[in-house]
């Protein structure tokens, strides 16, 4: 059986729902699940665009994101090590996307708490990859864990745990409009 998610951590997502336990779960952004999603979820965030964040893959309650190496991101020029704030942004955005990937309907989200443990320095000159999982979803709070690595998820240079508020603003989620526009541009089976 292929490994899913973060090595050594079993994914177990639960959600508050009135549906029967045997009913298949629906996800708001299910149409974007898979490798190289058809819509860039970081495009609307100027900070993410500046860092070059790229969505690698999305799945039920999971997200993988990459920041390509750039000398502009270096915080220690003598060693070529990326600034810690870049890693924080990588893990925060990755866990935020994993939260979106766990929702049945679009809702706004906000980071409540994010704790990062740096296990070692990231290797200089390497792209950084973040992987996040939502392992528990309640009506108003999502609980996440994640890792950051350069070459192998089995050897992360940082880990994180976090909580995200779900439904943080009573407004229409920006993705509702973006996906509707994208879907209206795609040809249907009848065309």
Going from N- to C-terminal start, the domains of the chain cover 30-181
- The pLDDT tens digits for 90-145 are 999 999 999 999 999 888 899 999 999 999 999 999 999 999 999 999 999 999 99
Q: What is the mean pLDDT of the chain?
A: 82
- 40 vs 38: CA distance, rounded Å: 7
Distance CA 47, CA 26 (A): 30
Supply 146's token pair: 């994640």
Residues with Cβ within 8 Å of 88's Cβ and at least 6 positions away in sequence, in order, are 114, 116
The model's pLDDT over 67-83, given as tens digits with 9 standing for 90+, comes to 999 988 998 888 888 99
**CA distances from residue 87 to 43, 53, 64, 158 in whole angstroms, order as listed:** 18, 11, 14, 8
What is the mean pLDDT of the segment spanning 45-72? 91
- Domain over 30-181 is classified CATH 3.10.129.10: yes
Which contiguous run of DSSP H or E holds residue 108? none
């Amino acid at each position: 059986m292929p490994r899913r998610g973060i090595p050594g951590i079993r994914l177990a997502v639960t959600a508050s729902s009135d549906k029967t336990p045997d009913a298949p779960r629906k996800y708001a952004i299910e149409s974007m699940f898979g490798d190289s999603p058809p819509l860039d979820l970081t495009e609307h965030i100027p900070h993410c665009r500046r860092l070059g964040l790229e969505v690698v893959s999305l799945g039920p309650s999971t997200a993988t994101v990459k920041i390509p190496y750039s000398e502009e991101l270096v915080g220690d020029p003598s060693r070529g090590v990326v600034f810690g704030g870049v890693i924080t942004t990588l893990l925060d955005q990755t866990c935020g996307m994993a939260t979106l990937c766990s929702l049945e309907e679009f809702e706004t989200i906000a980071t409540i708490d994010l704790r990062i443990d740096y296990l070692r320095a990231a290797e200089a000159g390497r792209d950084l990859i973040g992987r996040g999982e939502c392992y528990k979803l309640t009506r108003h709070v999502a609980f996440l864990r994640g890792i950051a690595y350069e070459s192998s998820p089995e050897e992360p240079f940082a880990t994180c745990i976090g909580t995200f508020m779900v439904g943080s603003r009573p407004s229409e989620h920006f993705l509702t409009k973006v996906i509707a526009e994208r879907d209206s541009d795609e040809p249907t089976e009848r065309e």
